[in-house]
């Protein structure tokens, strides 16, 4: 009993810290979900856009810029990175995944160039979290308030957008690009804009993370994609994805649940190096589940395999 109690005590103690972290990282999950589910454009750019946002924010903070300006610039730079990925795919007909890999590889060098070194401490620089009243700076409550408020605003804004005439058109591009084009929708504009927006969210998440942890690192994006995917899978399993409301809620719910699960595993004594293997196996299981349900054991027919 002593072990269980210890695990629970240490888990409960870090719930607020984990919640703050997960709300910040929920924007990466959102940045993975939008291209993947709304545009049918599996995208890996977020692995590069997240540290890109972090590096840009770090450099700006070090130069004395306002933390809000730093986030807005990170958002814009992330948007540009996403637009590049979409353009590479559309113009040269390169597979979306390969376009994303190319972009995130190139972004690594760009991130290093931006910072000039592999990590940068911005500890003591002002952060948006300092502006929350009635909380002590540096404590999770202020981070939860800021990230939670941002998440709420972004969620509602996206929900409203996808119900508008323009938003419906963007979803049509993901559902059936040929049909969308035949209905007068500019597929290029919708894809570039949508993937750009997704990367902008990933980059903003990186910027928030830098302000939260007090340093920027070019390697901060390592494995963020698979974590985000795992969070998305959990979110979709819990809240579903049948409607726009549920599909948009899934990244946020998923991020919150996933990071609590991770922190529980760590509290229970799982060695941190094993975490990636566990996450990978989990994502694999979630992706494989539909196919296992359909055909008991045997691999699906070749035609059924989707890109």
**Contact positions vs other proteins (CB under 8 A):** 161, 163-169, 171-172, 175-176, 178-187
Q: How far is the CB of 188 from other proteins (least distance, A)?
A: 9
If the CB atoms of residues 210 and 249 are measured against other proteins, the closer one turns out to be 249
If the CB atoms of residues 165 and 307 are measured against other proteins, the closer one turns out to be 165
Nearest to 195 by CA among 28, 9, 39: 39
Tokens of 149: 């408020």
If the CB atoms of residues 41 and 259 are measured against other proteins, the closer one turns out to be 41
On whether the CB atoms of residues 57 and 216 are closer than 8 A, the answer is: yes
Q: What's the distance, Cα to Cα, between the start and end of the chain in Å?
A: 48
On whether the CB atoms of residues 102 and 117 are closer than 8 A, the answer is: no
Tokens of 245: 């409301």
Tokens of 93: 């007909």
Q: How far is the CB of 240 from other proteins (least distance, A)?
A: 13
CA-CA distance, 5 to 152, in Å (whole number)? Answer: 34
If the CB atoms of residues 118 and 176 are measured against other proteins, the closer one turns out to be 176
Q: How far is the CB of 158 from other proteins (least distance, A)?
A: 13
If the CB atoms of residues 173 and 209 are measured against other proteins, the closer one turns out to be 173
Place of tokens 């946020």: 252
DSSP annotation of 215 reads E
């Amino acid at each position: 009993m002593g072990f269980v109690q210890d695990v629970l005590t240490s888990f409960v103690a870090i719930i607020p810290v984990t919640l703050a972290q997960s709300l910040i990282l929920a924007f990466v999950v959102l940045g993975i979900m939008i291209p993947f589910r709304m545009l049918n454009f599996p995208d890996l750019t977020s692995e590069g856009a997240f540290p890109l946002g972090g590096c840009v924010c770090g450099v700006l903070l070090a130069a004395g810029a306002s933390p809000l300006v730093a986030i807005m610039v990170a958002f814009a730079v992330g948007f540009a990175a996403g637009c590049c990925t979409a353009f590479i795919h559309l113009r040269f007909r390169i597979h979306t995944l390969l376009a994303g890999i190319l972009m995130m590889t190139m972004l690594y060098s760009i991130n290093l160039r931006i910072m000039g070194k592999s990590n940068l401490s911005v500890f003591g620089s002002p952060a948006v979290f300092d502006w929350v009243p009635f909380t002590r700076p540096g404590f999770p409550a202020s981070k939860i308030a800021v990230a939670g408020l941002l998440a709420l605003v972004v969620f509602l804004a996206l929900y409203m957008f996808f119900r508008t005439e323009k938003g419906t058109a963007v979803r049509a591009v993901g559902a059936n690009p040929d049909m969308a084009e035949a209905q007068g929708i500019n597929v290029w504009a919708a894809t570039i804009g949508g993937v750009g927006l997704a990367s902008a969210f990933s980059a903003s998440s990186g910027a928030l993370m830098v302000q939260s942890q007090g340093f920027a690192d070019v390697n901060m994006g390592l494995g963020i994609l698979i974590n985000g995917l795992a969070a998305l899978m959990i979110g979709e399993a819990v809240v579903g994805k049948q409607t726009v409301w549920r599909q948009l809620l899934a990244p946020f719910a998923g991020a919150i649940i996933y990071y609590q699960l991770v922190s529980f595993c760590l509290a229970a004594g799982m060695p941190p190096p094993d975490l990636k293997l566990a996450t990978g196996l989990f994502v694999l299981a979630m992706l494989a589940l539909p196919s296992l349900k359909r055909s008991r054991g045997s691999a699906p027919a070749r035609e059924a395999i989707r890109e």
